[in-house]
Amino acid sequence: MPVTSLQDSDKDPDKNWDNDRISFVSQLNKAEPPGLTIIVGEYSWKAHARKLCSCSEFFKRIMLSHEGAINVTLTLHEETPILVGSLLRWLYTLHYYEPKDNDATQTDPLVPNLRHIMAQGRGAPTWDLSPMLDRQILEEPDSFHAQMYWLADRYQIHKLKEEAIAKFKYQLLLFPDDLVLNLKHLLGCPNESMAESAARGPSLTPVTIATPSMPVPSGGTVAGPVEICQVFNPSNALNGINGDTGLHLKSTAQPEESTTMNTALILNPTPEQERAIRRRTITLEDDTGLWYFLVARTSELLSQHINDTTFSTIMQGNPSFQWAVLQQAAIRHTTNQFTIQELRDEVQVLSDRIRVLDEDRISLLSYTSDQPTYFPITPPPRGRELPPCTGAASTPKARRSLV
């Protein structure tokens, strides 16, 4: 598939390439060749392997194992295009989602939104997109932030995980009805086939290809620079997919004169990657912040979803999470009981005070009813002139005394 450049104009190569906040388009147009092509279905993007490796241990290991390759093509068979497009947006802007991403009026090439990135991934200018196609490209999957969290977890991008957690928390605080759908993505609905697949792990089988041969550190020979090499992808195990490992790496370098048939050895997963393969649900050890938030939020909304069959299935399939939620609900219930008792005590104190004040009021009324009533002299209304005085009262001193 031909890779579409985001923009053909050249930029000043002397600018600082390492500024992570440089926009997606301007970074791609710098003098440093991207060197990495990412393909997801019908979408194809060019990116800098340096930037991807700087934030992802997963891709760093892959690229180091094929060091020296000029161009590398990465095919992610089981990923969702909009998730990978959002990953690329984050890679160059440090933000994978903004409310204005669906704004068709934004045309600034230095600040590309997700609409521009997805359109360029299909090799189509944004202004040529039909409204129907535009909606299909930008349609967010269910539990978008939860899926971005898993994407970052699969490829060990810790900073992206932190941003996904922050946006996920904000979403659940605003839209509590989305709880069950997000729990389904983060905890899943376990079944026997998924458990068996997790125990087996990914299917890692060597492939035979015709490429120049070279020694490989792990022993034996490997096609190198590699033409096509299967590399395990945690997303397959997470989705319960067997067979093909899902992620393919293709690289090209300066060809040698001799070409032989060799078997490409599959990269061995690290213990962290093995744990990612077998883990379909969040855990207290690996997802501490998200775990505590979900436990607290679920305990708050427990009564609202108590009759939801999907919610019941999720809870029964995750005993550790269910127990944590019940513990939190019990603690919340006990705390509420103490609060209610404190309020009752305060009400009793106020009631006693009101009773005393009421008794004082009655005593005061009884006392005033036994005393003679004094009627105060009503002063003349304002603006009314005093009658003229005669004789001794007509002097100024006498007038002042009358007033």
| DSSP state letter for 138 | H
Query: What does the pLDDT look like over 350-387, one tens digit per residue?
Result: 999 999 998 888 888 877 766 665 555 566 566 555 55
pLDDT tens-digit series, residues 307-346? 999 999 999 989 999 999 999 999 989 999 999 999 999 9
Render pLDDT for 279-305 as a digit per residue (tens, 0 to 9). 567 888 888 999 999 999 999 999 899
Q: What is the dihedral of CA 204, 206, 207, 211, to 10 degrees?
A: 130
pLDDT of residue 86 exceeding 80: yes
Average pLDDT (201-214) is 32
Rounded Cα gap, residues 174 and 166, in angstroms: 13
- 113: domain CATH number is 3.30.710.10
DSSP 8-state assignment for residue 371: S
Tell me the per-residue pLDDT of 14-70, one tens digit each, with 9 for 90 and over.
Answer: 444 344 444 455 555 555 667 788 888 889 888 888 888 889 988 888 888 777 766
Contact (CB, 8 A) for 246 and 230: no
Task: Look up the domain containing 39 and give its range.
Answer: 24-127+134-192
Residue 116 within a domain: yes
**Is residue 165 in some structural domain?**
yes
Decide if 309 is inside a domain.
no
Phi, psi of 38 (to 5 degrees): -110, 125
222 domain-assigned:
no
- Most confident among 84-98, 145-159, 359-373 (mean pLDDT): 145-159
3-state DSSP call for residue 71?
strand
Q: How many domains does the chain have?
A: 1
How far is 191 from 201, CA to CA, in rounded Å?
A: 16
Amino acid at residue number 366: S
Residue 256 pLDDT level (bands cut at 50, 70, 90) = very low
- Specify if 397 maps to a domain: no
107 falls within a domain: yes
Give the per-residue pLDDT at 263.
28
pTM score of the predicted model? 0.60
Assess if residue 100 is contained within a domain: yes
* 194-200-202 Cα angle (round to 5): 90
> Would you give the DSSP letter of residue 235?
H
Residue 277 lies in a domain: no
3-state SS, residue 22: coil
